[in-house]
Structure 1
Amino acid sequence: MTVLIDIVKDQARSENGQRAAALSAKYETMTPQDILRDAIRNEFFGDITLSSSFGADSAVLLHMVSEIDPNLPVLFLDTDRHFFQTLQYRDELKAKLGLQNLVVLKADETEAATEDAKGTLWRTHPDACCDLRKVRPLNRVMERYGAWISGRKRHQSSTRANLPIVEWDGKHFKVNPLAKWTQADLDAYFAQHDLPPHPLVEQGFPSIGCFTCTKPVEQGQDARSGRWADSEKVECGIHNPIYGGEGI
């Protein structure tokens, strides 16, 4: 029986990986808005959510989603270490765009008290801090969904240069409708729709995470080079293939 279950799981992984590859190829020639409409209304109807950091470029994707389905669940990982400007920006965009289903996720209080009693885990073990405050809270809520939308883009860093538009992580499909867009595309969309910028962008923060682990970026550097600067860490972990999926 165990062997049969493993065979079924392997087949499902393969089929879902193939589906992700086919959708990614299909979406490569489509606009982000058309990708979102198809993903939300057809491919993953009723089974998809959006995760947003409410960071530097987040208003673009949030605006697109608000015009397609303002009731789509929008997940925000509140790490208790965000810049206060980010929390203000979150509330501003929620009101301005008419987002009706903002879901705020936080670390389990018992786990946080046990694993980070001194509040210094971000310094001593940043991967563990991200796991506690981002990965686990997101994993818990994602048990309800089969797919989620992210705002990652290929231009942001060398590690995202080959980002597909649709991925399979072993348990969920991830849709990256802005993968092809450049900073110029994003800037043009901000201007066209009169979207407010994150207040920290003009202070040299093109990518914004927790205040404990984010620094301004010098001109010419990757947009994400200020995240976990002076370390080998480049991602918080929520986009790793943590379920054993082979991706595409």
Structure 2
Amino acid sequence: MVPLETTARLEMRKRAQELTTRHEGLRAEQVLKEVIRRDFPGRIGLVSSFGAEAAVLLHMVARIDPYVPVIFLNTWKHFPETLDYRDRLIADLGLCNIQTVLPRPDSLRAEDPDGTLYVRNADLCCHVRKTLPMIKALRGLDCWITGRKRGQAVTRSDMELFETQDRWIKVNPLIDWTLDDVAAYFAAHSLPEHPLKAQGYPSIGCAPCTRAVRPGEDARSGRWADSDKTECGIHFENGKIVRRPV
């Protein structure tokens, strides 16, 4: 007999595949309307870093339902510009349900008392500051919206519109968007740019682990640039943090 957990996960993967089949080819806005209003009503949220391209999904979601939960992980390591940009977008877009999630103080005292864990063990730093708080924030949801795109990095090239992770389904409505698509949406809706984008930061995470991208590099090359790490601990594949190809 197949264990219950395995059966549940197989059923969830099957549902993700069915959702992909049903929604594939729809415009991003239509995918969002379907998942928010029909597929996961009251059980879906947007996880946002308020980074360089975050305004696109935030704008779309705000127009569909400004009360959809927007989960922001405050790791205490963000650029000041990101926090200012977050506050501006919340006000400009009329977002009504921002859920700011913090790492547990006792976990920080135990694992990162001097705030330099990212130097010694970046994976553990992400685990304490992002993964554990995120799991708690998602408890009341069945699905979460991400801004991941196939063209951002080689490690994301085989993504699907709907994916599974642990007990959740993830939807990537901007999966096939290009930099030109993002720029066109910003222009069409007069969205403000993240202040660091003009300084060569197309992907923005925590300040100690993000640098500007050099010419010819992919958009996420500035994240954990001196290691094989490519994901922060929010997104996993087969239960493991994704690594840069050797």
1:149-205 CA distance string (max 9 Å, x none): 011011100000111110111300001100111111000000000000000000000
For 1:157, the equivalent position in structure 2 comes to 153
For 1:133, the equivalent position in structure 2 comes to 129
Contact persistence 1:171–1:243 (CA under 8 A): no
1:109 alignment partner, one of 64, 87, 105 = 105
Q: Determine the C-alpha separation between the residues in 2 that align with 1:109 and 1:77.
A: 14
1:127-147 CA distance string (max 9 Å, x none): 000000000000012111111
Contact persistence 1:82–1:210 (CA under 8 A): yes
1:197-244 CA distance string (max 9 Å, x none): 000000000000011000000122110000001111110111114769
For 1:19, the equivalent position in structure 2 comes to 15
Q: Determine the C-alpha separation between the residues in 1 that align with 2:145 and 2:198.
A: 27
For 2:219, the equivalent position in structure 1 comes to 223
Q: CA deviation at 1:106?
A: 0.8
Q: Determine the C-alpha separation between the residues in 1 that align with 2:212 and 2:149.
A: 19
2:45 maps to 1:29: no
The letter for the 1-side match of 2:186 is: F
SS of match in other structure, 1:198: coil
For 1:93, the equivalent position in structure 2 comes to 89
Q: Determine the C-alpha separation between the residues in 2 that align with 1:109 and 1:76.
A: 17
RMSD over equivalenced CA pairs, Å: 1.3
The letter for the 2-side match of 1:53 is: S
**TM-score with structure 1 setting the length:** 0.94
Contact persistence 1:59–1:195 (CA under 8 A): yes
For 2:64, the equivalent position in structure 1 comes to 68
Contact persistence 1:170–1:241 (CA under 8 A): no
2:196 alignment partner, one of 196, 200, 207 = 200
For 2:243, the equivalent position in structure 1 comes to none
1:44 alignment partner, one of 40, 44, 47 = 40
SS of match in other structure, 1:212: helix
Q: Which has the higher contact order (CA 8 A, sep 6+)?
A: 1
2:144 maps to 1:148: yes
The letter for the 2-side match of 1:228 is: W
Q: Determine the C-alpha separation between the residues in 2 that align with 1:170 and 1:186.
A: 29
1:184 alignment partner, one of 176, 180, 183 = 180
SS of match in other structure, 2:99: strand
The letter for the 1-side match of 2:115 is: G
Q: Determine the C-alpha separation between the residues in 2 that align with 1:158 and 1:243.
A: 19
**Count, aligned residues:** 240
The letter for the 2-side match of 1:90 is: R
Q: 1:160 to 1:241 in 2, by over 3 A?
A: closer
Q: CA deviation at 1:9?
A: 2.4
**TM-score with structure 2 setting the length:** 0.95
Q: Determine the C-alpha separation between the residues in 1 that align with 2:3 and 2:211.
A: 46
Contact persistence 1:153–1:181 (CA under 8 A): yes
The runs of 5 or more residues in structure 2 that have no matched partner are 241-246
Contact persistence 1:49–1:73 (CA under 8 A): yes
Contact persistence 1:131–1:237 (CA under 8 A): yes
For 1:240, the equivalent position in structure 2 comes to 236
